[in-house]
Amino acid sequence: MRGSQHHAGADPRAATRRIPRPDAQETMPIAVPGRSSSGQRVTTLDALRGFALFGILLVNIPHVLEMPSEVDGVESPVRRALDLFVQFRFNVIFALLFGIGFGIFMRRAARKHPHPRLLLARRLAVLLPLGALHQLLHPGEYLLFYGVLGVVLLLPLSWAPRWVSLVVALLIPVSPVPGALVLGYALARYEIPQTLHARRKQLVVVFAVSAALSVPALLTQLHGPRDLGFALTTVVAGLCMATAYSSGLALLVRTRAGKPISAALEPLGRMALTNYVTATLLMVSVGRLIGLEGSDDWATMLVFAVGIIAVQVVWSRLWLARFRYGPLEWAWRCITWWDRQPIRAQAPAS
């Protein structure tokens, strides 16, 4: 890799053609978290990523370790609760955040580089081999899916007016995840996530409406078809509850009571890519070691999931005290900018 080399000259336009080395506070983990208009991180997005990681883990462990949902025709109440409150909820939030990250990255890259779509293409390209390798341990995982959707949908939409992205997001009928990815991208182009700090009233309205709609949607799913992959009732309930969860957490972390929650989730979310992949490594290795593969011990599964998240919260805090980015986030950043990026955290001013 090499950085761009430009020599100073008399042409005053030279500064606008330089490809500046991004500083430590830009394009942070998972395709650049949002910021306020003042340039500060919107840490709410980090907290949401950490929250989404936990919910996804609760779904992924039973899937990867092939835990049966029924034993002798009796369904586990834990599995049923996960189907109603977790499944098709947190993957929607995660996809939305991925889309937001790509949208913010594209806006910032356009101010820093003459070919921002090239950078976005590199960023997406990283997900393809990484997702393919991850598929070997976790069939059906999302990184490869996001990479493909980004190439097929987000890159072409980068040439279109931002309202087109919003329309496309609302018209994708196949699954809520592609729609959420494009919706997040569109919202970032409208700078909505970047200004969350100024949108408390709007968040309250969104939470109230989505929470109210979640009740009949959940009851409909409860008494509707059990085929989660194709049931419209599941999709509708998932969208309503994902919106309620994310807007509710965004409001909670702004309160005094929510500060400890935010403090735990933010480091987890800043290293979301690293934590997502390492969680798979832990569930495959440790999960099999403790006998969860093919097991119906759902109580142990819950303890195991909480344990993984607890370990990742601690190690994320320790890592980020010394480094600017998580390991995979740093590598992703280097490839995106095709330049070796600084990783050591800056020492506090004396």
Beta bridge partners of 75: 70
Largest CA distance in the chain: 81
Identify the DSSP state of 86.
Answer: T
Per-residue pLDDT tens digits of the chain, which is 350 residues long: 544 444 444 444 444 444 444 433 333 333 333 344 444 567 899 999 999 999 999 999 999 999 998 877 788 899 999 999 999 899 999 999 999 999 999 988 988 889 999 999 999 999 999 999 999 999 888 899 999 999 999 999 999 999 999 999 988 865 678 999 999 999 999 999 988 888 999 999 999 999 999 999 999 988 876 655 557 888 889 999 999 999 999 999 989 999 999 999 999 999 999 999 999 999 999 999 999 999 999 999 999 999 999 999 999 999 999 999 999 999 999 999 999 988 987 754 43
pLDDT on residue 181: 94
**Sign of the alpha-carbon dihedral angle for 75, 80, 81, 83:** positive
Query: Residue 126, Cβ neighbours under 10 Å: how many?
Result: 19
pLDDT on residue 41: 60
Q: Output the CA angle 165-207-81, nearest 5 degrees.
A: 100
Strands (E), the chain: 70-71, 74-75
Identify the DSSP state of 114.
Answer: S
User: What backbone phi and psi angles, to 5 degrees, belong to 293?
Assistant: -65, 120
Q: Are 145 and 177 in contact (CB under 8 A)?
A: yes
User: 131 Cβ partners below 8 Å, 6+ apart?
Assistant: 141, 142, 143, 144, 145, 146, 147
CA-wise closest residue to 104 among 153, 159, 39, 161: 39
Query: Residue 176, Cβ neighbours under 10 Å: how many?
Result: 22
Determine what percent of the chain falls in helix, strand and coil, rounding each to the nearest 5. Answer: 65, 0, 30
Distances (CA, A) of 277 to 127, 308, 328: 12, 12, 9
Identify the DSSP state of 159.
Answer: T
User: 350 Cβ partners below 8 Å, 6+ apart?
Assistant: none
Q: Are 287 and 304 in contact (CB under 8 A)?
A: yes
Residue with tokens 């462990």: 61
Q: Are 296 and 68 in contact (CB under 8 A)?
A: yes
User: What backbone phi and psi angles, to 5 degrees, belong to 76?
Assistant: -65, 135
Would you state the torsion angle of the CA atoms of residues 109, 115, 117, 118, taken in this order, to the nearest 10 degrees? -110
How many whole angstroms separate alpha carbon 24 and alpha carbon 14?
Answer: 23
